[in-house]
Amino acid sequence: MIRASNPILPGCHPDPSICRVGDDYFLVTSTFEYLPGLPVMRSRDLVRWETIGHAIDRSGMLDYRGIPSSGGLYAPTIRHDGERFWIVCTLVDPTDATRGGNFVITAVDPAGPWSDPIRMDADGIDPSLAFDEDGRVWMHGTRLAGDPQWHDQTEVWVREYSRDEHALVGDEHVIWRGAVHGAVWAEGPHLYRIDGRWYLIAAEGGTEFHHAVSVARADSVTGPYEGTRSNPVFTHRHLGRGVDVIGAGHADLVEAPDGSWHAVMLAMRAADGHHYPLGRETFLCPIAWEDGWPVFAPGLGRLPDSIEIPWADAAAPAGSWQPDDRRPGVVEPGDARWTSLRALPNDIATADAHGSWVLPVRGETPADAGTVAFLGIRQQHAQVDVTGILDLAALADGERAGLIVRQSEQDHATVHVARTAEGLVVRAMHRRGGVDTVLAEQVDDATDSVHLGVRVRGYSYELVAGGEVLAAVDGRELDASSTGGFLGVWLGVFATSDGLPPSGTVRIDEFRYEPRRDATAVPIA
Ligand code: 6LW
């Protein structure tokens, strides 16, 4: 029997949405300020996932200029109408509410190309779509309640989408304002037509420790919706801080070909019950239907560590399988994991004839909400060694480049090399809450080819240069529960001229990502 281990998508993969077409499942997650945006992942069995493309993969599809960390693309929904795939999503600019907003894109092939976004006249976030048997399309989403009964109360709206007009038409209906009195942030709504009824699944309590899932149903898509008396039907908050997985919520349901049901949802692995540098990850949860209502994780009441998938192909054991874009070792320029900030990797760097990234230095620093010379991948394992061999021969005076452990503009750690009048200087730095601290600094007598590393063991992030540990940063200071925001940690390469006109380049001769399953996690004391 094949088992799916949770999380099914490790690392920052929040707000998962799933649909099935024939024997294939398709899943998308939020990507915020990183590009390409919205990875489209495919699986035959809910166990083995691979990235087949990204829905936002052309420059100019959306305007990311100036969007700060944890803005950008929130909570996409993916659906199929029998002919085409649809994704609805929100581009959020926390500094300017008039920019961005909700949009629709479609594709015949989920690997792409996806259409240019069509902006919807709809407030709020977390849009979703449902297709009625009569061919009508119903969009829904969440926003702050117009006349709230309590602080941060939100409301779920529904409105028809016209395929002819590519716009929302007709009356809007507010169908849900949270199951529990005083519950904040009824969000991530998804409507489903199941056995002649309409079901609403919504998150509740906010996307952190108090996250929960509620369910309601109605005879008509526009309501009235009646919540089940057992709401919220799923949460980990009642388990307290002593469990390793917290914050379960934001679910989307899917039916397998054999008639069984599952939910995907986000949750966080937090070794100490609080901090989760890997971010909000995607978990799988079995669903049973009892008395016309879904039961999450029947008999268990929490996300299982693993789930039996009876229909998975026994010839391909899950434990040994890694999709091509997730193999441990060297991460080549063509790997689907590479992302950049507010620009596509291919717009800020080029792959040379030897298969190395050549990254031109830019004036922006990692502290700027701009197009930074940055190439990075999600941290997906609690124990991992990342190493970079950088050729700095073409780095100009006053420029610096190296590895970065990135949460945001305000919170990151670097081990980098600066070209100065004294020669190459190696530095370990931690920017915490917008304040830079140099943790270690030494003049490097080495050559232009530098070996830098980040050795992650649980909450310990060691910054390594030339095989020597220069400093360690506490991952509990880099995770979203400390810094705010919605992201997990990214590991990558950056280069900057600190605002001066840039002229140099950096060649990434090698970037390795090696999970260390054998290593013992050593939280910083
Ligand atoms: C997502 C929303 C949420 O849109 O976090 O607070 C947002 N909850 O459901 C970003 O992931």
In a domain, 365, yes or no: yes
Confidence band (pLDDT; 50, 70, 90) for 188?
very high
Ligand 1 close to Cβ of residue 281 (< 6 A):
no
Ligand 1 close to Cβ of residue 207 (< 6 A):
yes
For ligand 1, atom 6: residue with the closest CA: 207
96 lies in the same domain as 221 = yes
- Asked if residue 40 lies in contact with residue 26, where contact means CB atoms within 8 angstroms, the answer is yes
Provide the pLDDT for residue 522: 58
408 lies in the same domain as 274 = no
The number of folded domains in the chain is 2
**What is the Å distance from ligand 1's center to 488 Cα?**
13
CA–CA distance, 260 with 253 (Å, rounded to integer): 11
Q: Which atom of ligand 1 is nearest to the CA of 208?
A: 6
**What is the Å distance from ligand 1's center to 75 Cα?**
6
Long-range CB contacts (< 8 A, 24+ apart) of 193-199? 193/130, 193/131, 193/132, 193/133, 193/221, 195/292, 197/292, 198/130, 198/225, 199/294
CA–CA distance, 37 with 59 (Å, rounded to integer): 11
CA–CA distance, 392 with 389 (Å, rounded to integer): 10
Confidence band (pLDDT; 50, 70, 90) for 27?
very high
In a domain, 323, yes or no: no
Ligand 1 close to Cβ of residue 484 (< 6 A):
no
**What is the Å distance from ligand 1's center to 449 Cα?**
42
339 lies in the same domain as 475 = yes
- Asked if residue 148 lies in contact with residue 128, where contact means CB atoms within 8 angstroms, the answer is no
CA–CA distance, 99 with 188 (Å, rounded to integer): 21
Q: Which of 276, 308, 340 is the last residue of a domain?
A: 308
Provide the pLDDT for residue 2: 82
The pair of three-digit structure tokens given for residue 501, joined into one six-digit string: 């006109």
In a domain, 236, yes or no: yes
147 lies in the same domain as 262 = yes
Segment 408-420 shows an average pLDDT of: 97
- Asked if residue 441 lies in contact with residue 424, where contact means CB atoms within 8 angstroms, the answer is no
Three-state SS for 481? helix
Chain position carrying tokens 């006109």: 501
CA distances from 286 to 4, 23, 295, 432 (A): 11, 18, 8, 40
* Helix%, strand%, coil% for the chain, nearest 5: 5, 50, 45
161 Cβ neighbours under 8 A, 6+ residues apart: 104, 120, 129, 137, 138, 139, 167, 168, 169
Provide the pLDDT for residue 317: 60
CA–CA distance, 453 with 387 (Å, rounded to integer): 4
CA–CA distance, 55 with 87 (Å, rounded to integer): 8
Q: How far is CA 375 from the centre of its chain?
A: 16
Chain position carrying tokens 């989760």: 276
378 lies in the same domain as 416 = yes
Provide the pLDDT for residue 19: 98
Ligand 1 close to Cβ of residue 427 (< 6 A):
no
252 lies in the same domain as 396 = no
**What is the Å distance from ligand 1's center to 184 Cα?**
12
Q: Which of 256, 275, 308 is the last residue of a domain?
A: 308
Q: What's the CATH code of the domain at 388? A: 2.60.120.200
Chain position carrying tokens 């693309």: 73
Provide the pLDDT for residue 313: 73
**What is the Å distance from ligand 1's center to 105 Cα?**
20
Nearest to 169 by CA among 179, 161, 177: 161
CA–CA distance, 513 with 492 (Å, rounded to integer): 10
**What is the Å distance from ligand 1's center to 207 Cα?**
6
In this predicted model, what pLDDT tens digit does every residue of 194-236 receive, in sequence order? 999 999 999 999 999 999 999 999 999 999 999 999 999 999 9
Ligand 1 close to Cβ of residue 206 (< 6 A):
yes
For ligand 1, atom 7: residue with the closest CA: 74
Q: Which atom of ligand 1 is nearest to the CA of 280?
A: 11
In a domain, 318, yes or no: no
| Top mutation candidate among 140, 201, 250, 280 for ligand 1, by most atoms within 8 Å of CB | 250
The number of C-alpha atoms within 13 Å of 286 and in the hemisphere containing its C-beta is 18
Q: What's the CATH code of the domain at 28? A: 2.115.10.20
Q: Which atom of ligand 1 is nearest to the CA of 90?
A: 4
Provide the pLDDT for residue 520: 65
- Asked if residue 311 lies in contact with residue 323, where contact means CB atoms within 8 angstroms, the answer is no
In a domain, 177, yes or no: yes
230 lies in the same domain as 275 = yes
The DSSP H or E segment spanning 482 is helix 480-483
The DSSP H or E segment spanning 442 is strand 435-444
Ligand 1 close to Cβ of residue 185 (< 6 A):
yes
For ligand 1, atom 3: residue with the closest CA: 207
Ligand 1 close to Cβ of residue 15 (< 6 A):
yes
392 lies in the same domain as 281 = no
Q: Which atom of ligand 1 is nearest to the CA of 30?
A: 11
Q: How far is CA 465 from the centre of its chain?
A: 29
For ligand 1, atom 5: residue with the closest CA: 207
In this predicted model, what pLDDT tens digit does every residue of 61-106 receive, in sequence order? 999 999 999 999 999 999 999 999 999 999 999 999 888 999 999 9
460-465 and 400-406 strand pairing: unpaired
418 lies in the same domain as 478 = yes
Nearest to 337 by CA among 4, 124, 18, 31: 31
In a domain, 505, yes or no: yes
Q: Which atom of ligand 1 is nearest to the CA of 75?
A: 4
Q: Which atom of ligand 1 is nearest to the CA of 142?
A: 9
Q: Is the pLDDT of residue 465 over 80?
A: yes
Q: Which atom of ligand 1 is nearest to the CA of 125?
A: 4
Q: Is the pLDDT of residue 521 over 70?
A: no
162 lies in the same domain as 264 = yes
Q: What burial class does residue 386 get, using C-beta atoms within 10 Å of its C-beta: 0-12 exposed, 13-18 middle, 19+ buried?
A: buried
Mean pLDDT of the residues in the chain: 95
**What is the Å distance from ligand 1's center to 153 Cα?**
14
In this predicted model, what pLDDT tens digit does every residue of 328-349 receive, in sequence order? 999 999 999 999 999 999 999 9
18 lies in the same domain as 137 = yes
Provide the pLDDT for residue 517: 80
**What is the Å distance from ligand 1's center to 185 Cα?**
9
Nearest to 204 by CA among 222, 221, 216: 216
Q: Whole domain around residue 162: which residue ranges?
A: 3-308
Ligand 1 close to Cβ of residue 32 (< 6 A):
no
125 lies in the same domain as 72 = yes
CA–CA distance, 130 with 114 (Å, rounded to integer): 19
In a domain, 91, yes or no: yes
Q: Which residues are catalytically annotated? A: 15, 187
CA–CA distance, 268 with 517 (Å, rounded to integer): 19
| Top mutation candidate among 38, 91, 152, 207 for ligand 1, by most atoms within 8 Å of CB | 207
For ligand 1, atom 10: residue with the closest CA: 74
Q: Is the pLDDT of residue 488 over 50?
A: yes
**What is the Å distance from ligand 1's center to 141 Cα?**
12
Q: What is the DSSP letter of 345?
A: H
Choice between 298 and 314, residue whose per-residue pLDDT is larger: 298
In a domain, 320, yes or no: no
Q: Is the pLDDT of residue 151 over 50?
A: yes
For ligand 1, atom 9: residue with the closest CA: 188
In this predicted model, what pLDDT tens digit does every residue of 403-412 receive, in sequence order? 999 999 999 9
Segment 128-156 shows an average pLDDT of: 96
Provide the pLDDT for residue 525: 41
pTM metric for this prediction: 0.97
**What is the Å distance from ligand 1's center to 69 Cα?**
14
Provide the pLDDT for residue 312: 82
Ligand 1 close to Cβ of residue 460 (< 6 A):
no
Nearest to 441 by CA among 455, 423, 460, 461: 423
